[in-house]
Amino acid sequence: MFNDQVILITGGTGSFGKEFIKTVFQYYKPRKLIVLSRDEQKQLEMRQLFPEDKYPSIRYFIGDVRDRDRLNRAFHGVDFVIHAAALKQVPACEYNPFEAVQTNIMGAKNVIDAAIDNKVKRVMAISTDKAVNPTNLYGATKLVTEKLFIQGNYYAAGQTVLSCVRYGNVVGSRGSVIPLFLEQRQTGVITVTDPRMTRFWITLKQVAEFVIHCLTQMQGGEVFVPKIPSMRLTDLAEAIAPGCEIVFNGIRPGEKIHEMLLSDDEIHRTLEFDDFFIVKPEFDFWREKHWENGRRLPLEFRYTSDTNTQWLLIEELKQMIPELESV
């Protein structure tokens, strides 16, 4: 469905954006793929990664989701928007709360308004497990983002459809703990916040393919949640730096011991499929007919990183991290 279409991704120079663009061109031939971001240096680096002679349909827009006028210009003639721009670092958001609100909440509102005004067909927002029962500002802003995108379907009146994808920690993304562990292993001491800590784990390629799949299936108002494995942070440390001493230095502000991908309050309106869940909106614009093969979950079901039935072992973690091929 993306052949000869115009796709735009906000925050497109990030880890997800690069993998998404690579995956799109692996399967489709879009008429244009627009990368919108505010960092000219990262756009320059991306031009080198995707040279114009091989990717003539890629366009680069300098812009910020805080700037509605710029979004309105960028979204003109666009068919699909993936909204990935955000402030994502938990400590940075805690220390700069007003900036987090301006980018993650007001920026999301601007994306929705510009998409509706320009009659964009489909818009997908990238969310996080930290939006579920949030304990930090980053998660709280992403919860608001989800609410805005779901409710945005009322304003769009079916002309533009909006949904969200929510997933856990991404292997190899910026801000991942992996680069820190790789650096620390040279010293023989690895710092871990808490011995109990668990996280959901997914690769960039899996994320990109899941987002594309959801874009093709979305009806508007759903929150898509992939079925992904969990890992223990101590196992990740052992995979990256076997034999090194592990020092526990305490939980950071706003951090959780375990993450959730479905809240207890969402279970009654969640449908299960073989590889993912969808959380249904609680509004009358949504119709379940498209998802009639979905299975309802028992009310006692919990989808948290510590109660997950899928777990990554140390050897599996090693195979997921390219830097460990020689370890």
Position with higher pLDDT, 182 vs 72? 72
List pLDDT tens digits, range 3-21. 999 999 999 999 999 999 9
Rounded distance, CA 64 to CA 43, Å? 13
pLDDT for the residue numbered 327: 42
User: Six-digit token pair at 96?
Assistant: 């700069």
pLDDT for the residue numbered 285: 73
Rounded distance, CA 187 to CA 32, Å? 47
pLDDT for the residue numbered 146: 97
Cβ atoms of residues 147 and 178 within 8 Å:
no
List pLDDT tens digits, range 26-41. 999 999 999 999 999 9
Query: Where are the domains positioned within the chain?
Result: 6-168+201-228+261-302
Q: Kindly report the length of the chain.
A: 327
List pLDDT tens digits, range 214-247. 999 999 999 999 999 999 999 999 999 998 999 9
Point out which residues pair with 295 in neighbouring strands. 272
Rounded distance, CA 201 to CA 238, Å? 16
Q: What's the mean per-residue pLDDT of the chain?
A: 92
Q: For the domain with range 6-168+201-228+261-302, which CATH number is right: 3.30.70.240, 3.40.50.2300, 3.40.50.720, 3.40.30.10?
A: 3.40.50.720
Statement: residue 288 has pLDDT above 80: no
Q: Please name which of 79, 86, 94 lies closest in space to residue 65, comparing C-alpha atoms.
A: 86
For 182-186, the CB contacts below 8 A with 24+ separation are 182/240, 182/323, 184/241, 184/244, 185/240, 185/241, 185/244
Cβ atoms of residues 231 and 317 within 8 Å:
yes
The helix/strand/coil state of 166 is strand
List pLDDT tens digits, range 240-273. 999 899 999 998 877 889 999 999 999 999 999 9
pTM, whole model, 2 decimals? 0.93
Cβ atoms of residues 136 and 195 within 8 Å:
no
Task: Work out the average pLDDT over 70-84.
Answer: 97
Active-site positions read 130
List pLDDT tens digits, range 79-105. 999 999 999 988 899 999 999 999 999
